[in-house]
Structure 1
Amino acid sequence: MPKSAEIDAAYREACRLEIEALKPGNVHRFADGHRMSAQQFLDSAEVSASAVCHPGWPVGRRILDAIHATREVVGTNTNLGIVLLCAPLAKAAEASGDDLQRDLADVLGSMNGDDARDVFRAITLANPGGLGEAENDVAEPPRVPLLVAMREATDRDLIARQYVSDFANIFSGGLAAYRTAEKGGETGMWPTVFTYLHFLSEFPDSHVARKHGTATAENVRLEATSIAEKTRAISDEMKRLELLVDFDRRLKAASVNPGTSADLTVATVFTAKLNFVLHNSQVSA
């Protein structure tokens, strides 16, 4: 069973690796954007880690406290999606089992009304555009269990979809993309980049769809598919960077921020790190 310090370190590393990767349209160390800086995301990871990874805490409290801490230090919504995804993963990692997704399913299935209340409060506090327009408005006290509310949002929000599918898109497609890149000899930021491009090319980004409409989100997905194929085919790192930087500039010039794809990327890298810690904790136990 991973120690709480190992879970905390895995979360911080996942957040760091994501911000160090050149993710077109999103904030990263190569370029800020959307009135946010890479440093704000790094600061958000630091101040949210103790709540996200707090041993024994329920998921809802982890999420609410993490968003409170982020707002106090950063003052804007940098990490709601990250926290929504990583808090259940961190709690699942505390279990003694050897199957992280199975333990995650138990965590998600056991969330109660207090969790729903705290999650709704966190969403309201973070104030992400468009999330309060569902039938179960997050600005009001929850009238249904959290998973029911998430299920009602699955057609328009990929993070909600993870809650009702035991994070299927992360444990299958996301992890496969990450591991394929590693096995293919990719190092440094590139496994994270290819994980991000996987999500960006596989699904119309929820954040883009809320801000700019489904047609724009689909156009971004189609271009990301082409960019991902071209990047894989290029061996020269500078040429890869030129391709991604050009895409990045065009997306930011249009104020297009594929934030959901970035959130799913953090959660995937966190999952990969947790699986590594879980295996090595068992070996050394």
Structure 2
Amino acid sequence: MPSDLDPARIADLYRSACLAELDALKVGNVHSYAAGHRMEVADFARSAEVSAPALARADAGIGARVFAGVAATREAVGQNTNLGILLLCAPLAFAAEHGVTLVQALDRLGSEDARDVFAAIRLASPGGLGQAARYDVTTETAETPPLLAAMAEAAPRDRIARAYVTGYEDVRIVGLPALAAAEAAGLDESWRASTVHLDYVSAFPDSHILRKHGEAIAEEVRAEAQRLKAGIDMVAKPVAQLLAFDAVLKERGINPGTSADFTVATLFWQALIEAGARLA
């Protein structure tokens, strides 16, 4: 029977998901095969370590977990390495701790969560954020909407916001099936993560690329990833082909970071389920 999970166990599973994602060859991202974007694997490993206690803090709200994780990360590494990861993983951690489904956890979100998340986004200062006509997170306001309302406003332009209002549809229809298929094919943990990431990059234009480079380049990267996926066999561990695309993206300053965030969330989701969490 599904049950509440101990916060310490949740923190361990979160760390493991973050580290497994770093070991994977994820085109355009920082990983153990190659650094990039002026960041090193050590920055992300340190970020996972310091943010884990915040993410799994007993009885904390979802927004509070995100803010505390971002604050701990900024203090430790001085830059934004995991805002998207925390945004996606905090609801999963909350649901696992309280023995509820993900949708039930999201339904509990309110204005206090929005205040904390908006503050976390301002602190992280992600690249290409820009400003919104409504519910602009870059400016503190007297009234803050419930977090789901703010996420619904941002959903058409941001996949992480969309995840909040669709019950993590992308994880359900892209990430988890890709992970199951990779496991069935006998791939080890890092290559399962690499497969999941490539599936995300090829499934939809990455939000981080959209914000920084625009729709045309985001679609170009998605289409190229789709062609690459169709032409390789992940069972054969195609390091050379993946690194070639990885180098092209990094040379152009293109980072499919949202796809990497979703990869961590997918690994974390699966680990929580295996540990007895309810989630679905």
- Shorter-chain TM-score bucket reads over 0.9
Identify the residue that residue 160 of structure 1 maps to in structure 2: 161
Identify the residue that residue 92 of structure 1 maps to in structure 2: 95
Identify the residue that residue 48 of structure 1 maps to in structure 2: 51
Alpha-carbon distance, 1:228 to partner: 1.3
Distance 1:96 1:201, change over 3 A: same
Distance 1:236 1:74, change over 3 A: same
TM-score of the aligned structures, taking structure 1 as reference length:
0.92
Alpha-carbon distance, 1:132 to partner: 4.4
Q: Is the 8 A contact 1:24 1:247 kept in 2?
A: yes
One-letter amino acid of the structure 2 residue matched with residue 21 of structure 1: A
Q: In 2, Cα distance between the equivalents of 1:127 and 1:231?
A: 36
One-letter amino acid of the structure 2 residue matched with residue 50 of structure 1: P
Identify the residue that residue 254 of structure 2 maps to in structure 1: 256
Q: Is the 8 A contact 1:92 1:107 kept in 2?
A: yes
Distance 1:236 1:111, change over 3 A: closer
Identify the residue that residue 244 of structure 2 maps to in structure 1: 246
One-letter amino acid of the structure 2 residue matched with residue 174 of structure 1: G
- Select which of 82, 95, 108 maps to 1:79: 82
- Select which of 117, 120, 129 maps to 2:127: 129
One-letter amino acid of the structure 2 residue matched with residue 215 of structure 1: A
Q: Is the 8 A contact 1:131 1:138 kept in 2?
A: no
Distance 1:199 1:9, change over 3 A: same
SS at 1:29 equivalent: coil
Q: Is the 8 A contact 2:111 2:144 kept in 1?
A: no
One-letter amino acid of the structure 1 residue matched with residue 274 of structure 2: F
Q: In 2, Cα distance between the equivalents of 1:55 and 1:150?
A: 25
Identify the residue that residue 230 of structure 2 maps to in structure 1: 229
User: How many residues get paired?
Assistant: 272
Q: Is the 8 A contact 2:151 2:164 kept in 1?
A: yes
Q: In 1, Cα distance between the equivalents of 2:55 and 2:120?
A: 13
Alpha-carbon distance, 1:172 to partner: 2.6
Q: Is the 8 A contact 1:132 1:138 kept in 2?
A: no
Identify the residue that residue 196 of structure 2 maps to in structure 1: 195
Identify the residue that residue 100 of structure 1 maps to in structure 2: none
Identify the residue that residue 181 of structure 2 maps to in structure 1: 180
Of all paired residues, the percent bearing the same amino acid is 47
One-letter amino acid of the structure 2 residue matched with residue 69 of structure 1: A
Identify the residue that residue 275 of structure 1 maps to in structure 2: 273
Q: In 1, Cα distance between the equivalents of 2:248 and 2:99?
A: 46
Q: In 1, Cα distance between the equivalents of 2:231 and 2:41?
A: 26
Alpha-carbon distance, 1:235 to partner: 4.7
Alpha-carbon distance, 1:126 to partner: 0.2
Identify the residue that residue 40 of structure 2 maps to in structure 1: 37
Per-residue CA deviations over 1:151-199 (Å, capped at 9, x if unaligned) read: 1111110000000011111123210100111011111311101100111
One-letter amino acid of the structure 2 residue matched with residue 94 of structure 1: E
One-letter amino acid of the structure 2 residue matched with residue 224 of structure 1: A
TM-score of the aligned structures, taking structure 2 as reference length:
0.94
One-letter amino acid of the structure 1 residue matched with residue 8 of structure 2: A
Q: Is the 8 A contact 1:47 1:70 kept in 2?
A: yes
Q: Is the 8 A contact 2:152 2:162 kept in 1?
A: yes
Identify the residue that residue 104 of structure 2 maps to in structure 1: 106
Q: In 2, Cα distance between the equivalents of 1:136 and 1:114?
A: 14
Per-residue CA deviations over 1:7-37 (Å, capped at 9, x if unaligned) read: 1111000000001100010000111110111
Distance 1:178 1:51, change over 3 A: same
Q: Is the 8 A contact 1:170 1:264 kept in 2?
A: yes
Q: Is the 8 A contact 2:62 2:90 kept in 1?
A: yes
- Select which of 117, 120, 126 maps to 1:119: 117
Q: CA RMSD in A?
A: 1.4
Q: In 2, Cα distance between the equivalents of 1:49 and 1:43?
A: 10
Q: Is the 8 A contact 2:112 2:146 kept in 1?
A: no
- Select which of 6, 11, 18 maps to 1:8: 11
Per-residue CA deviations over 1:225-270 (Å, capped at 9, x if unaligned) read: 11112222x6533xx0000000000000000000000000000000
